[in-house]
Amino acid sequence: MGYYRAGFDVTGVDIKPQPHYPFKFIQADALEVDLSGYDAYHASPPCQRYSAMTKGRWQDRVETHPDLIVPIRERLMATGKPYVIENVAGAKHYLINPVLLCGTMFGLETKYHNQLRRHRYFEMPWYNALTPPCAHGKSSSIGVYGGGQNPARKRPVTIGVWGHAGGTSNRDGLIQFGTQDRKDAMGIDWMVGGELSEAIPPAYTEFIGKHLLQHLERLAN
């Protein structure tokens, strides 16, 4: 959605059906799909191999998740076109000179003014601009990874945008964030809870997309 808002005509590819995807969609393996005919590429390899949650709770499963960053990079580099590879913080050292983006850079928050702290790293060899700094500072936030709950607060310091969430609820004396709160914080209204856990805010890709368009314009001139 962010690339669309920046001015791109977007086509999505995923090996699984994505019934809520709002643009043209091709169900295919990203390592095999025809990549010809596009001006730029954005890849988000499955993050489970690099995720702190996998390593924390399911360490024995880490090796069952493939490392797809290297093969997708090789495919994208072979096109000769600009590309972006995005992944979680745990993949930082697998990416080449990655750029960090966070929801606080773009003022993303819930209607209760809980900041969205969702750190994602982007490999963008063509990018040479400055990024805004993280603006962590408020006492409460809506996170992307669960945990960090303080029973002294009406709302937890950190609530995760992961898994399947229902409505806002009160549990253990804390008001828990529901799917709508997470949608509000992410700036996404077309996904369900499980999809939100795999998503990045459109504000990130709109920011990248604007710089990418400028780069493409420089190449054309």
Whole-number pLDDT of residue 138: 62
The structure tokens listed for 215 are 């780069």
Give the pLDDT band of residue 60 (cuts 50, 70, 90).
Answer: low
**C-alpha distances in Å from residue 48, one per residue of 66, 71, 87, 188, 205:** 9, 16, 10, 22, 21
The domain that holds 112 is classified in CATH as 3.40.50
* pLDDT > 70 in the chain, percent: 75
On the 0-12 / 13-18 / 19+ scale of CB atoms within 10 A, 217 is exposed
Residue 114 has pLDDT above 50, yes or no: yes
Whole-number pLDDT of residue 112: 83
Residue 7 has pLDDT above 50, yes or no: yes
Whole-number pLDDT of residue 24: 97
92-95 CB contacts, 8 Å cutoff, 24+ apart? 92/121, 94/50, 94/67, 94/69, 94/70, 95/69, 95/121, 95/122, 95/123
| 124-139 average pLDDT score | 87
Whole-number pLDDT of residue 173: 47
Q: How many domains does the chain have?
A: 1
Whole-number pLDDT of residue 201: 96
Sequence-ordered alpha helix ranges (H) in 59-201: 69-79, 179-186, 193-196
| 5-24 average pLDDT score | 96
Residue 95 has pLDDT above 60, yes or no: yes
Could you tell me which of 169, 147, 149, 168 has the C-alpha nearest to residue 157? 149
Could you tell me which of 122, 120, 168, 167 has the C-alpha nearest to residue 144? 120
Whole-number pLDDT of residue 121: 96
Enclosing domain of residue 30: 2-220
Cβ(101)–Cβ(120) below 8 Å: yes
More confident residue, 205 or 194: 205
Rounded to two decimals, the pTM is 0.81
| 101-114 average pLDDT score | 91
Whole-number pLDDT of residue 120: 94
**C-alpha distances in Å from residue 139, one per residue of 56, 161, 178, 198:** 26, 18, 20, 26
**Cβ-proximal residues to 18 (8 Å cutoff; 6+ apart), any chain:** 12, 25, 27
From the CA atom positions of the chain, what is the Rg in Å?
18
Whole-number pLDDT of residue 64: 61
Residue 11 has pLDDT above 80, yes or no: yes
Whole-number pLDDT of residue 176: 65
Residue 98 has pLDDT above 60, yes or no: yes
**Can you give the length of the chain in residues?**
221
| 92-104 average pLDDT score | 94
Please give the mean pLDDT across all residues of the chain. Answer: 82
Q: Biggest alpha carbon distance in the chain?
A: 60
Could you tell me which of 96, 87, 86 has the C-alpha nearest to residue 208? 86
Amino acid at 125: P
Residue 187 has pLDDT above 90, yes or no: yes
pLDDT tens digit sequence for 69-83: 999 999 999 999 999
Q: At which residue do the structure tokens 């490999």 appear?
A: 123
